[in-house]
Chains A and B, each alone.
Chain A
Amino acid sequence: MAALADIIAQARRVDGHRPVPRAVVTPGAWRAVAGELAAGHATLLGLWGDTGAVHMAVMGEAGRDINVVSIECPGGNFPSVGALHPPAIRLERTIQSLYGLEPIGAADTRPWLDLGFWDVQHPLSAHPQQPGEQSAYAFLPVQGEGLHRIPVGPVHAGIIEPGHFRFTANGETVVRLEQRLGYVHKGIESLMAGATIEKAAQLAGRTSGDSTVAYALAFAHAVEAALNIAVPPRAQYLRALMAELERLANHFGDIGAICNDASFTLMHAHCGILRERILRAADACFGHRLMMDRIVPGGVARDIATDGGMRVQGALSEIRWRLPRLIELYDNTASLQDRTVKTGVVSAELVRQFGAGGYVGRASGRAFDARKAHAYAPYDRLEFEVPILTAGDVNARVWVRIREVEQSLALVDQILARLPDGAIVVPVTAPAGMSEGLGLAEGFRGDVLAWLRLDGLRVVRCHLRDPSWFQWPLLEAAIENNIVADFPLCNKSFNCSYSGHDL
């Protein structure tokens, strides 16, 4: 960590970036930071474009110290991080496609998110242009006897988001999966630019609908950091209540859906009931089943209904009664275990290299959880454990979810018992001029990062980084040497976001 700290200490520090420092570095220092990432001395938290600049958020070995380093790109290019550190590759391809800034030395220069359907090239650059002739997208070559390709998507068979998967198989065995994403790219960063904070918060809450609470929270954290706003304690607890309800609902949805993809519909039906109970409790508490737009910069938009705590406890007591039975059912069904155990294994090394968060990381031994590592209120005052497993297979990703459900149940109890009285929101005011903020929030899928620059109360630039950026590539690794029929199972055990990734 010393090396990284030294590099940053020598760089030009930017004023008004909170709560972590941001420094503008030289191309040489930028390369050195990339080298630290490649050496495993730091984790890449995010890499995103700006007008004429590129920013990178890195986290030290302990998983705590976060720094943002920036490089100015007067020549329209910057030294490639991906050339040294593969987790940066797709992020750099995105920067090239959206901002037109070229990563020098990058091995893979194919566009990302830009599928050739836009009326504009490099839409977020200082000077967007008409798109030129685009050659057909070159999928990675595969060589060998008896191989066949299976193209899947963008429209998939289930009620799920669109994306393209290109399988190369030898008989039943997958030898390569290549993903092509971007189908749900909505241009969220361009809509953010110039938006009011209220509008931007709504956009953040619609970046990935299943994580609307986590996104709204990460965005609020970034705004509050930039503007030095202290959120009232009651709002902090209500935010955590929403976040845990969201986690519970999604984990039940996932546990059921994974079993469903192994054709074990009984679990799916029972988990679906528990998920619905939570959504109804959330609706009773906050007036929206997914709790959209309930977290706002400054606090929360709506206090919990008077009988809200009781409704949540009602749902929780049903879950507590049913959960042990469902766990037993999952654990004792040999035909189901046969599908999930040793299927879709991700190595601890890959998870560490990519800094994969959530159940994908925790099922392969990576302990990071933003609620612990960056203990934002009220988690600094709540007791909970971060469950870690090491098998890295579908089964481990199911078990991490089960253990997290148990932790969330205990957290909700603590939150309801300790919910302080008082205000639920403070006004958001800003001094004239620019301010910058970075926010993290732990969603059910992993850590969501929000970075923004404000001019007064207007958003100049806002970047949201979904946990899926560092999980999608690992799915390509997980499916190798598994059979094609196990892909839905592996895919569901990851449950990466398309919309959050495509932006």
Chain B
Amino acid sequence: MRRTLFEGLTRSPLTEPPPSADDTALAELAAKVDGAARRRLGRSLSIREVDAGSCNGCELEIHALNNAFYDLERFGLRFVASPRHADVLMVTGPVTKNMREALRRTYNATPDPKWVVAVGDCAFDGGIFAESYAVVGGVSSVVPVDLHIRGCPPRPLDLLKGLLALLEWQSGGGPGRGATNKPFQFLS
């Protein structure tokens, strides 16, 4: 274990991006998210993930945000275990009828101000499952959505870009929680 830990101290980090000429997008993004998050929330934005019927594909890519390459926490964004600790609900899936009530309750348990990010094509409008008897069809038909991040599933980089878009929108005075205007849509 000592060897592995020591190596971790001496090796250059994997975290994207080491400023390379061909892959600067994430570097810019990193700087932007960092600045916006600090302005708005003083380096803290807590996210509660809710699977409302996804196939688990979106969860895998949301998980990837925590790995050494994307390292979400360096921006002050982190996942929390309870909606009561959360500023943002990140919701996946077409919202099954069996999860509708649980999603509502999770939303109600999240203190204001709060924002909802709907992740994936299913969360947008039910996607490929929209016609089913068991599906409500889209997160916005159950709770107000501030941002859609499309994709099946969206790549981790798209998720990062989406969170940036939310932060910028909020910094520009966009209303939080129960927004009456149309949700911002981020198309990757």
A322 to B, closest residue via Cβ: B4
A114 to B, closest residue via Cβ: B98
In the complex, whether B162 has a CB less than 8 A from a CB of chain A is no
- A289 lies within 8 A of B61 (CB): yes
Give the number of residues in B that approach A within 8 Å (Cβ atoms): 49
In the complex, whether B50 has a CB less than 8 A from a CB of chain A is yes
In the complex, whether B142 has a CB less than 8 A from a CB of chain A is no
A273–B98 CA distance with the chains assembled, in angstroms: 35
A275–B152 CA distance with the chains assembled, in angstroms: 19
- B51 lies within 8 A of A203 (CB): no
Q: A161-B59, A184-B54, A203-B128 are in contact. Are A273 and B69 (CB under 8 A)?
A: yes
Produce 1/0 per residue, B112-142, CB < 8 A to A.
0000000000000000110111110000000
- B55 lies within 8 A of A191 (CB): no
- From A115, A119, A161, A212, name the one whose CB has the most chain B CB atoms within 10 angstroms: A161
A269 to B, closest residue via Cβ: B68
- A159 lies within 8 A of B59 (CB): yes
Chain B residues whose CB sits within 8 angstroms of the CB of A275 once the complex forms:
64, 67
Chain B residues whose CB sits within 8 angstroms of the CB of A381 once the complex forms:
none
Produce 1/0 per residue, A294-338, CB < 8 A to B.
000000000000000000000000000000010001001100000
Chain A residues whose CB sits within 8 angstroms of the CB of B128 once the complex forms:
191, 199, 202-203, 206
- A190 lies within 8 A of B132 (CB): yes
A206–B135 CA distance with the chains assembled, in angstroms: 15
- B98 lies within 8 A of A191 (CB): no
Q: A157-B82, A333-B1 are in contact. Are A185 and B64 (CB under 8 A)?
A: no
In the complex, whether B88 has a CB less than 8 A from a CB of chain A is no
In the complex, whether A270 has a CB less than 8 A from a CB of chain B is yes
| Chain B 1-58 residues near chain A, CB threshold 8 A | 1, 3-5, 14, 49-58
A247–B81 CA distance with the chains assembled, in angstroms: 28
Q: A210-B56, A273-B69, A498-B56 are in contact. Are A123 and B133 (CB under 8 A)?
A: yes
Q: A191-B129, A292-B152 are in contact. Are A160 and B59 (CB under 8 A)?
A: yes
Segment among B89-97, B167-175, B179-187 that sits at the interface with chain A? B89-97
In the complex, whether B100 has a CB less than 8 A from a CB of chain A is yes
Q: Shortest beta-carbon distance, A322 to chain B, in Å?
A: 9
| Chain B 69-88 residues near chain A, CB threshold 8 A | 69, 79, 81-83
- B96 lies within 8 A of A183 (CB): yes
Contact of B129 (CB < 8 Å), options: A182, A186, A269, A292: A186
A257 to B, closest residue via Cβ: B63
A185–B99 CA distance with the chains assembled, in angstroms: 9
| Chain A 195-214 residues near chain B, CB threshold 8 A | 199, 202-203, 206-210, 212
A205 to B, closest residue via Cβ: B55
- B132 lies within 8 A of A497 (CB): no
- A497 lies within 8 A of B68 (CB): no
- A332 lies within 8 A of B1 (CB): yes
Q: Shortest beta-carbon distance, A66 to chain B, in Å?
A: 27
Chain A residues whose CB sits within 8 angstroms of the CB of B3 once the complex forms:
325
- B133 lies within 8 A of A118 (CB): yes
A199–B98 CA distance with the chains assembled, in angstroms: 24
B155 to A, closest residue via Cβ: A289
Contact of A186 (CB < 8 Å), options: B1, B64, B96: B96
In the complex, whether A19 has a CB less than 8 A from a CB of chain B is no
A326 to B, closest residue via Cβ: B4
Q: Shortest beta-carbon distance, A244 to chain B, in Å?
A: 17
A499–B54 CA distance with the chains assembled, in angstroms: 7
- B56 lies within 8 A of A497 (CB): yes
A332–B56 CA distance with the chains assembled, in angstroms: 33
A273–B13 CA distance with the chains assembled, in angstroms: 11
Contact of A158 (CB < 8 Å), options: B61, B81, B153: B81
- A209 lies within 8 A of B98 (CB): no
A328–B132 CA distance with the chains assembled, in angstroms: 49
- A185 lies within 8 A of B134 (CB): yes
A164 to B, closest residue via Cβ: B102
Q: Shortest beta-carbon distance, B160 to chain A, in Å?
A: 14
Q: A183-B96, A184-B99 are in contact. Are A209 and B57 (CB under 8 A)?
A: yes
- B134 lies within 8 A of A187 (CB): yes
| Chain A 20-71 residues near chain B, CB threshold 8 A | none
| Chain A 147-206 residues near chain B, CB threshold 8 A | 154-155, 157-162, 182-188, 190-191, 199, 202-203, 206
- A290 lies within 8 A of B102 (CB): no
Q: Shortest beta-carbon distance, B93 to chain A, in Å?
A: 7
Contact of B96 (CB < 8 Å), options: A120, A157, A185, A329: A185
In the complex, whether A486 has a CB less than 8 A from a CB of chain B is no
Chain B residues whose CB sits within 8 angstroms of the CB of A225 once the complex forms:
none
A325 to B, closest residue via Cβ: B4
A118–B98 CA distance with the chains assembled, in angstroms: 8
Q: Shortest beta-carbon distance, B53 to chain A, in Å?
A: 5
In the complex, whether A231 has a CB less than 8 A from a CB of chain B is no
Contact of A187 (CB < 8 Å), options: B4, B106, B135: B135
- B57 lies within 8 A of A161 (CB): no
- B57 lies within 8 A of A123 (CB): no
Q: A117-B97, A154-B99 are in contact. Are A187 and B56 (CB under 8 A)?
A: no
Contact of A162 (CB < 8 Å), options: B51, B63, B135, B153: B51
- A206 lies within 8 A of B98 (CB): no
Contact of B1 (CB < 8 Å), options: A162, A210, A266, A279: A266
| Chain B 143-178 residues near chain A, CB threshold 8 A | 152-153, 155
Q: Shortest beta-carbon distance, A179 to chain B, in Å?
A: 14
- A187 lies within 8 A of B129 (CB): yes
Chain A residues whose CB sits within 8 angstroms of the CB of B54 once the complex forms:
161, 184, 209, 499
Produce 1/0 per residue, A488-502, CB < 8 A to B.
000000000111000
A161–B56 CA distance with the chains assembled, in angstroms: 7
Interface CB pairs A-B, < 8 A, 5: A155-B106, A161-B56, A162-B102, A184-B99, A276-B67
| Further 5 A-B residue pairs, CB within 8 A, beyond A162-B102, A187-B132 | A159-B63, A184-B54, A210-B57, A272-B67, A292-B152
The 10 nearest A-B residue pairs measured at CB = A209-B57, A187-B132, A187-B134, A157-B81, A272-B67, A209-B55, A209-B56, A117-B97, A206-B55, A159-B49
Binding site for A on B (CB under 8 A): 1, 3-5, 14, 49-64, 66-69, 79, 81-83, 93-94, 96-102, 106, 128-129, 131-135, 152-153, 155
